[in-house]
Chain A
């Protein structure tokens, strides 16, 4: 298991390198740049600016410097658009915000979605099942850019229960709406998926064996059926988890939470090469770590997978 984990972590290095090289050239290929503007700068000034950011060098030299700085000092360089701020500063400020509401959003998805799915499966083809499935389909097709304004309309403007935006150091009142708005449609997806796989598992021969042992229904569900029923949900949650923790551009803009989604948009508008590349690397690393964690979780649940590691 440890061996497997180490091997997976080692594989991150070449992948990240490839990602950096490709993204670096792709961005530079696109027309325009951080210092292009309607009224061209005087050539002397432009020359100064380019030298200040090392952009007067040939591309491959710039790339080499970039990678060298990451490897030796974990330094992703200065921001091109935000004066006197480094990419590290920007991420250090925005990422904890995104991580906070992304984490709670994922918690919301699992804590609500899984039990709802199980209940619907156990009350198969009953009123509760139909209600749950109906609601799930409804919220799954409800995009967050529709849901978020409705929530603000109700909880902020009508009832004055929750603040309509801002972050305020991550107080819980400020976290709830971003987390729920980000997670609702995934929560519904998880509920539907869990319902389906639970129904399938409950028809498995080994569940009949468990019944023949005289075990009470509760024990059958919790001890025998839950683990296998959660496997498809886990697969689904992998990419969703990454998406949530890396945040949603829309949530950051709508609720003014100040997460990295906002930085991403700003960076794209300003052709801020270093911010964009830094965020891309961050996303990639998160994807690696989270998928690795999920694979380990898989191995923990499924002994067949475990024996292959």
Chain B
């Protein structure tokens, strides 16, 4: 991490949803900073609220959402911004890559139109300038024969190619930050690797900061310098990725790492974390992971641990009984 001011500073973000069964507390008191060019992973299982964090930053949450906290972008709070203002930031300064390239592209519009409309809107480009930029970006994401495929529609592309187009779309205005919401989840494993490689490449070339949202620790390992582990809508641990993999501080992180299959020993059974994700219909009053934690003590069920720095490292964790204290 650099000492410079962060470009994005998320402070005490909480997201609730009003549903037919009452409130659902999806994200609780999440804070993190993003610096220029940084690659941060937000890791968590389904329902941990990781996608909602990304959506809230761009004001794209569902209508029944209530948001608290702040997301400061160049000193201005994105969460409190009127629609006309945030529209100027969307795609131009902060772009998003969506999970499922099959449904994220409009099936009724040509690729060219879907790409060029971004720069026509934000940079006042003409159609032909927009086409030129689209071509440039399609080349950058390595879509073969881009010129011939400008007039094609999404259904004429494979899943991997479509995800490349979605990435190209995010790159159109050369944004300072890209929020990549599970960009490889919907793809084949081999294609996944290609897409991650591509993301790393364009990230390096453009110096864009990336928030990579994923449930796949394998994807994180090679890509992000920092990792934030989310559980039940709360930050469990945040640390430089390498340190986190070497010495997880939170029992949940440890459990996640154990659940990664080992390619050298395919006969070994996977160490799943017992239990199921928490019911989030109440605001958390204790550690959300306590019911599934093998190291939990009575205090874990009674107090809400704060995210505290681990002495002598860049890690912080919210745990009363961090892993190293037990060994």
Give the docked Cα–Cα distance between A204 and B154 (Å).
15
What per-residue 1/0 map shows which CB atoms of A208-246 lie under 8 Å from chain B?
111111111101000110011000000000000000000
Is the pair A209, B109 in contact by a Cβ cutoff of 8 Å?
no
Interface size band for A:
20 to 34
Give the secondary structure class of A's interface: helix
Chain B CB within 8 A of A301 CB: yes
Is the pair B108, A209 in contact by a Cβ cutoff of 8 Å?
no
Among A212, A215, A302, A307, the residue within 8 A (CB) of B95 is: A212
Query: Known: A205-B98, A209-B98, A223-B117. Contact between A303 and B107, CB under 8 A?
Result: yes
| Residues on the B chain within 8 Å of A142, using CB | none
| Residues on the A chain within 8 Å of B95, using CB | 212
Among A214, A223, A228, A301, the residue within 8 A (CB) of B92 is: A214
Give the docked Cα–Cα distance between A301 and B89 (Å).
31
Give the docked Cα–Cα distance between A303 and B156 (Å).
10
Among B86, B87, B108, the residue within 8 A (CB) of A228 is: B108
| Residues on the B chain within 8 Å of A4, using CB | none
Among B58, B83, B117, B153, the residue within 8 A (CB) of A304 is: B153
Chain B CB within 8 A of A130 CB: no
Give the docked Cα–Cα distance between A208 and B91 (Å).
12
Is the pair A209, B105 in contact by a Cβ cutoff of 8 Å?
yes
Chain A CB within 8 A of B79 CB: no
| Residues on the B chain within 8 Å of A224, using CB | 106, 109
Chain A CB within 8 A of B136 CB: no
Among B103, B109, B122, the residue within 8 A (CB) of A205 is: B103
Give the docked Cα–Cα distance between A210 and B96 (Å).
11
| Residues on the A chain within 8 Å of B156, using CB | 307
| Residues on the A chain within 8 Å of B169, using CB | 209, 213
For residue B105, which residue of chain A has the nearest CB? A206
B39 CB to closest chain A CB, in angstroms?
Answer: 20
Query: Known: A205-B98, A211-B60, A223-B117. Contact between A304 and B105, CB under 8 A?
Result: no
Chain A CB within 8 A of B286 CB: no
Query: Known: A205-B100, A209-B98. Contact between A215 and B60, CB under 8 A?
Result: no
Is the pair A213, B118 in contact by a Cβ cutoff of 8 Å?
yes
| Residues on the B chain within 8 Å of A208, using CB | 60, 98, 104
A202 CB to closest chain B CB, in angstroms?
Answer: 11
Is the pair A215, B117 in contact by a Cβ cutoff of 8 Å?
yes
Query: Known: A223-B117, A307-B156. Contact between A209 and B122, CB under 8 A?
Result: no
CB within 8 Å of A: which of B149-205?
Answer: 153, 155-156, 166, 169
- Give residues in A with beta carbon < 8 Å to B: 204-206, 208-217, 219, 223-224, 227-228, 301-304, 307
User: Beyond A209-B166, A210-B106: 11 further Cβ-contacts under 8 Å?
Assistant: A205-B104, A206-B103, A206-B104, A206-B105, A209-B106, A212-B90, A213-B91, A216-B84, A227-B108, A303-B108, A304-B107
- Give residues in B with beta carbon < 8 Å to A: 58, 60, 83-84, 86-92, 95-96, 98, 100, 103-109, 117-118, 121-122, 153, 155-156, 166, 169
